A and B are shown apart, each in its own frame.
Chain A
Amino acid sequence: MKASDIMTQAVITISGSATVAEAVKLLKDKGLRALIVEPRHSSDPYGIVSETDIVYKVAAHGHDPKSMHVYEIMTKPCIVINPDLGVEYVARLFSQSRIRRAPVIQGGLLGIISTSDILRKSDFVEKPKELFLEDRIDVARAEARTICKEKGDTSPDCAAAWDIVEELQMAASDQRSKDKEASEKSSFEVYCENNPNAKECRIHDD
């Protein structure tokens, strides 16, 4: 699954020069937890102002939201997400940068993605996706070679080490095929759908 599959498309923008009171009103009226601050010119970055910014930086100090401005508390530039990024990598990016939501950008603002979207709409419970399998296969393979050199090619330790490599490779190919299923049908499958009676498309049960 990609960021664009689970992002929230309803997104509201605000100007950095608006007051915090105006931002609070927008958040309340629209039932949102963050507003996006649009770039002011073509090379200006995106910004974000969240519920947390307002509570931590305004309410917590008893400042008057009517006399404070969005630019005083916003995060700009903010981390932005590419719509094609895999959901598991969005989760990892959020975890490593300690953020909870970010705008999804590609040639403009497409939506916003949050920890709630990941929890509620992604398939990580049904299909947990292990990360960096290819890297782990490389390491396991190197380890297997070392073990077999030390203990002999016919030793049980050597066989066990290659079993680990085999298991990881199977997991990787399994994930790749799942991704393929999810992303697109093969041209052969499309052909058979369009020509269900073609000879090549018959399924034999025997």
Chain B
Amino acid sequence: MSERQVALEVLRYNPETDREPRLQRYSVTCREEWVVLDALNHIKESVDPTLSYRWSCHMAVCGSCGMMINGEPKLACKSFLRDYEGVIRVEPLMHFPIERDLVTVIDDFMAKLARVKPYLIPKQAKPVGEGEYRQTPAELKKFKQFTLCINCMLCYAACPEYGIIPKFIGPAAISLAHRYNQDSRDGGRDQRQEEIAATEGVWECSFTGACSEVCPEHVDPAAALQQVKIKSTVDWYRKHLMPWMEE
């Protein structure tokens, strides 16, 4: 089994003791197959127990360990050391306030997620006793990819608009709204649209596609945004130019 020495520069910030963030360098012996998270765990265990970061599943599904690795938003549990040369720089996700070290404050996303009503608003209420709604594999496929969002926040860290206009609802929240809008069982689009079509909704997106590029689950938030924009535009025309359609 092969090992190598890896140098990491990790952003440190403790609001109680530090005036501003700083980079701390660690040089540790790592196994070849390790991910960046393994290296951080090794540092925490054997070098510096004060280092703080979030992690849990180590299989890219809990969404805890999003961080900037050499300037790119990544899950630390899926960033292999073998893919990096030289010093690896590890920082908290961009565009979020730093709580401490690599831990960010994600209140903003949590509030925005709730605002877009990311839950099924049934088209037709049906008692549980009457069994499941029918939904064909083709109908499922229409929204399935948007269900795969693990709320890891990488897309927010990558999004240039969110960086400039923090009120922007952002890629993940819009994708999840779109996920329900596209669900054959759902009838809640109008309610969600009020949030999404508002000024800080989809119109802020300049469609750089950075969100889709960084998504570790291959969700395509950019596509969701584009589809929502088109629907919002159609809604506008209906309302203002074809009011008779509103019936």
Do A and B truly interact?
Answer: no
